[in-house]
């Protein structure tokens, strides 16, 4: 009889002293396999705190890179080396250096959806869950550059009243969700609460009920008395929402909101990753130290968890 794949993975996890972290956008089977699932911020925290020797990161490359920056000495693996993030590729360190040279006094805040080299050129990192708090912590009157997501950036400008210099990047998956999608979903599910990710476009955010990171969506749905919800974000979140909220209903605003990079990770690839110890994510030490400063400043502003 063949050994079920999850059993093989569990044996290898013990042998390698490995932990499996999965982002909320992963395939349902990958989320179910993981030791921890969460949003970018929660997974960064887990990566920094874990006692494991090996972190198998089921997400996209910038997330695995963040784990490698925070956990030197640990082996960080990504099960598919092509799981990139088009948003993070929309700005290079060279472009950021050029922008900084035009605004030498500016404080640079970068979304965690960025390369290690861009983080190294930034003063603060942030995630969608804490971008408002990070920007609010910056001395009033200071010029601020925010990269690379213009939609998250505009949301932060609106919430904080700070006038920031925005980079014109965007998440292709969130940009695919339209205002019409939300209106049609509302018509199909009257009374449902619409939760949109801050990476969504302005017209979508303008007609939603709540603007939340993926981790915040999970908390909101759990604590809400409402029985039905529409999500304007990557469809992978629906799995955890349903699992944690039996008796409540969840609908995707758009079935097109599927991140092809997140979906590159499969259960088989997680097994091969642990068997072959592939694909290792490493960050050159000079970049890692500077990038870690930006991440450490983010963590220092937030209440300890």
Q: Work out which of 113, 254, 261, 273 binds ligand 13P, going by CB under 6 A.
A: 113
Strand partners, 196: 211, 232
**CA-CA distance, 161 to 141, in Å (whole number)?**
11
Distances (CA, A) of 250 to 192, 237, 259, 265: 9, 10, 19, 24
Residues 198-217 that bind ligand 13P (CB under 6 A): 199, 213-214
Per rule CB under 6 A, is residue 75 in the interface with ligand 13P?
Answer: no
Residues 13-32 that bind ligand 13P (CB under 6 A): 24
- Closest distance between ligand 13P and the C-beta of residue 185, in Å? 19
Beta strands in the chain (DSSP E): 18-23, 36-38, 54-58, 75-77, 107-111, 124-126, 144-147, 164-166, 193-196, 210-211, 228-232, 249-252
Cβ within 8 Å of residue 104, ≥6 positions away:
none
Residues 149-208 that bind ligand 13P (CB under 6 A): 171, 199
Order across the sheet with 54-58: list the strands: 36-38, 18-23, 54-58, 75-77
248 CB-contact burial (10 Å; exposed 0-12 / middle 13-18 / buried 19+): middle
**CA-CA distance, 251 to 229, in Å (whole number)?**
6
Closest of 206, 205, 197 to residue 257, by C-alpha:
197
Ramachandran angles phi, psi of 104, nearest 5°: -60, -20
Size of the site for ligand 13P (CB under 6 A): 11
Residues 276-295 that bind ligand 13P (CB under 6 A): none
- Closest distance between ligand 13P and the C-beta of residue 233, in Å? 7
- Closest distance between ligand 13P and the C-beta of residue 281, in Å? 17
What is the DSSP code (8-state) at residue 9?
A: H
- Closest distance between ligand 13P and the C-beta of residue 48, in Å? 15
Per rule CB under 6 A, is residue 50 in the interface with ligand 13P?
Answer: no
Stretch that binds ligand 13P, among 70-78, 96-104, 125-133, 200-208 (CB under 6 A): 125-133
Per rule CB under 6 A, is residue 39 in the interface with ligand 13P?
Answer: yes
101 CB-contact burial (10 Å; exposed 0-12 / middle 13-18 / buried 19+): exposed
Residues 216-255 that bind ligand 13P (CB under 6 A): none
User: What torsion, rounded to 10 degrees, do the Cα atoms 28, 29, 31, 34 define?
Assistant: 170
- Closest distance between ligand 13P and the C-beta of residue 40, in Å? 3
259 CB-contact burial (10 Å; exposed 0-12 / middle 13-18 / buried 19+): buried
Stretch that binds ligand 13P, among 66-74, 121-129, 220-228, 294-302 (CB under 6 A): 121-129
Per rule CB under 6 A, is residue 138 in the interface with ligand 13P?
Answer: no
- Closest distance between ligand 13P and the C-beta of residue 198, in Å? 8
Per rule CB under 6 A, is residue 114 in the interface with ligand 13P?
Answer: no
Q: Work out which of 26, 114, 128, 130 binds ligand 13P, going by CB under 6 A.
A: 128
- Closest distance between ligand 13P and the C-beta of residue 301, in Å? 16
Q: Work out which of 71, 127, 261, 273 binds ligand 13P, going by CB under 6 A.
A: 127
- Applying CB under 6 A, which residues contact ligand 13P? 24, 39-40, 113, 127-129, 171, 199, 213-214
């Amino acid at each position: 009889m063949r050994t079920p794949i999850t059993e093989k993975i569990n044996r290898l996890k013990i042998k390698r002293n490995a932990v499996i972290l999965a982002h909320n956008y992963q395939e349902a089977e990958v989320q179910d396999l993981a030791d921890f699932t969460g949003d970018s911020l929660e997974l960064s925290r887990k990566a920094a705190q874990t006692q494991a020797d090996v972190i198998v990161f089921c997400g996209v490359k910038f997330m695995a890179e963040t784990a490698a920056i925070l956990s030197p000495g640990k082996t960080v693996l990504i099960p598919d080396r092509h799981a990139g993030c088009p948003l993070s590729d929309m700005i290079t360190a060279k472009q950021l250096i050029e922008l900084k040279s035009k605004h030498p006094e500016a404080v640079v805040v970068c979304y965690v959806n960025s390369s290690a080299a861009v983080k190294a050129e930034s003063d603060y990192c942030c995630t969608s869950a804490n971008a408002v708090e990070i920007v609010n912590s910056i001395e009033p009157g200071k010029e601020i550059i925010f990269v690379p997501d213009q939609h998250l950036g505009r949301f932060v400008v609106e919430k904080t009243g700070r006038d920031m210099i925005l980079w014109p990047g965007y998440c292709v998956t969130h940009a695919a969700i339209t205002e019409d999608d939300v209106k049609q979903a509302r018509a199909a599910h009257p009374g449902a609460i619409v939760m949109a990710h801050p990476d969504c476009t302005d017209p979508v955010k303008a007609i939603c009920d709540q603007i939340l990171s993926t981790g915040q969506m999970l908390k909101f749905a759990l604590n809400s008395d409402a029985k039905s919800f529409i999500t304007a974000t990557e469809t992978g979140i629906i799995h955890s929402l349903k699992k944690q909220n039996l008796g409540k209903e969840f609908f995707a605003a758009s079935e097109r909101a599927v991140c092809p990079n997140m979906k590159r990770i499969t259960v088989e690839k997680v097994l091969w990753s642990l068997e072959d110890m592939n694909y290792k994510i490493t960050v050159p030490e000079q970049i890692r130290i500077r990038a870690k400063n930006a991440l450490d400043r983010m963590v220092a502003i937030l209440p300890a968890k």
